[in-house]
């Protein structure tokens, strides 16, 4: 695997809009992302934030059509094609929605999956290489990353159990089997180590309420820290 350079990492940066926050949730299927996003949205709205929830791929008419084409296909897509398809959807989402919304003060944008999914799914699990995915994201606006990412970690056995309980049809990635999911967990752990300041690795085997409390605590800390920095910059 090609070595990741400090230059590649240094090109990534969070958006600089005072009073606004960009968040993302990551994890394998069954980790509870959707449930926790709803709970966090409620918490943030109670703090008088304007909250927008998006998903990847998707969030724009172009992205939603792309999502349908990828996740419903029965044909194998090459890892390189996957990476550029997801990056295309992401670039459109950033330009059309995310950056414009964050420019409005007191706004929080929450993404269900973002760049870390590309690093894990295409970069690691599909063998394209993390370095290649980072190169794709070296130009604006793809070099924009969240202020904070919640990685909800569960093991493969828990994922399988929760998917069976949900009893929903499996999409393109969900149908790839246990060995692929094992690679995903390893990949997410790797990426969490690569970005320790941004990615908060959380044990999602706990109860829904316990998980929600930990997430809300982390958000409260982020808001307090960012406000302190912005206040200092304005002095």
The answer, yes or no, to whether residue 216 has pLDDT greater than 90, is yes
For residue 1, pLDDT over 60 is answered with no
Average of per-residue pLDDT values in the chain: 93
pLDDT at 89 over 90: yes
Q: How confident is the model over 49-62, as pLDDT tens digits?
A: 999 999 999 999 99
Question: Does residue 84 register a pLDDT over 90?
Answer: yes
pLDDT, residue 232, reads 72
> At residue 205, does pLDDT exceed 60?
yes
Alpha helices in 55-175 (DSSP H): 61-71, 79-93, 99-102, 115-117, 130-136, 156-166
Torsion of CA 86, 219, 187, 122, to 10 degrees: 0
CATH number of the CATH domain containing 114: 3.40.50.300
pLDDT band at 231 (very low <50, low <70, confident <90, very high): confident
Asked if the structure places residue 1 within a domain, the reply is no
Whose CA is closest to 223, among 5, 39, 8, 49? 49
Cβ atoms of 112 and 54 closer than 8 Å: yes
Residue of 46, 44, 56, 54 whose CA lies nearest to 20 = 44
Q: What is the pTM of this model?
A: 0.93
pLDDT digits (tens, 9 = 90+) for 167-201: 776 666 766 788 999 999 999 999 999 999 999 99
Yes or no: say if 194 and 4 are a contact pair by the CB < 8 Å rule: yes
The distance in angstroms from the start CA to the end CA of the chain is 46
pLDDT for the residue numbered 183: 96
Q: What span, in angstroms and rounded, lies between the C-alpha atoms of 70 and 173?
A: 9
Total domains in the fold of the chain: 1
The answer to whether residue 139 sits within a structural domain is yes
pLDDT grade, residue 224 (50/70/90)? Answer: confident
Q: What is the pLDDT of residue 174?
A: 67
Give the separation between CA 15 and CA 102, rounded to whole angstroms. 8
- Domain that residue 62 falls in: 6-233
Q: What is the mean pLDDT of residues 147-167?
A: 91
What is the C-alpha separation between 177 and 198, in angstroms, rounded? 29
114 in Cβ contact with 24 (< 8 Å):
yes
Q: Rounded to whole angstroms, how far apart are CA atoms 67 and 20?
A: 27
The confidence band for 233, taking pLDDT boundaries of 50, 70 and 90, is confident
Region 15-37: mean pLDDT is 96
């Amino acid at each position: 695997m090609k070595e990741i350079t400090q230059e590649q990492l240094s090109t990534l940066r969070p958006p600089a809009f005072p009073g606004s926050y960009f968040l993302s949730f990551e994890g394998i299927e069954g980790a509870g992302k959707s449930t926790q996003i709803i709970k966090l949205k409620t918490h943030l709205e109670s703090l008088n934030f304007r909250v927008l929830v998006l998903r990847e791929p998707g969030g724009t008419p172009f992205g939603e059509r792309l999502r349908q084409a990828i996740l419903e296909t029965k044909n194998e897509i090459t890892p390189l094609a996957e990476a550029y398809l997801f990056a295309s959807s992401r670039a459109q989402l950033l330009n059309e929605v995310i950056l414009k919304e964050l420019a409005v003060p007191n706004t929080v944008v929450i993404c269900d999956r973002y760049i870390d999914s590309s690093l894990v799914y295409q970069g690691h699990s599909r063998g394209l290489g993390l370095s290649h995915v980072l190169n794709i994201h070296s130009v604006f606006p793809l070099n924009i990353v969240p202020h904070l990412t919640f990685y909800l970690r569960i093991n493969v056995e828990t994922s399988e159990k929760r998917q069976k309980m949900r009893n929903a049809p499996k999409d393109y990635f969900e149908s790839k089997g246990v060995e692929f999911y094992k690679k995903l967990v390893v990949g997410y752990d790797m990426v969490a180590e690569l970005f320790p300041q941004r990615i908060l690795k959380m044990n999602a085997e706990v109860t829904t309420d316990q998980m929600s409390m930990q997430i809300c605590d982390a958000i409260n800390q982020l808001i307090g820290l960012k406000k302190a920095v912005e206040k200092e910059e304005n002095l």
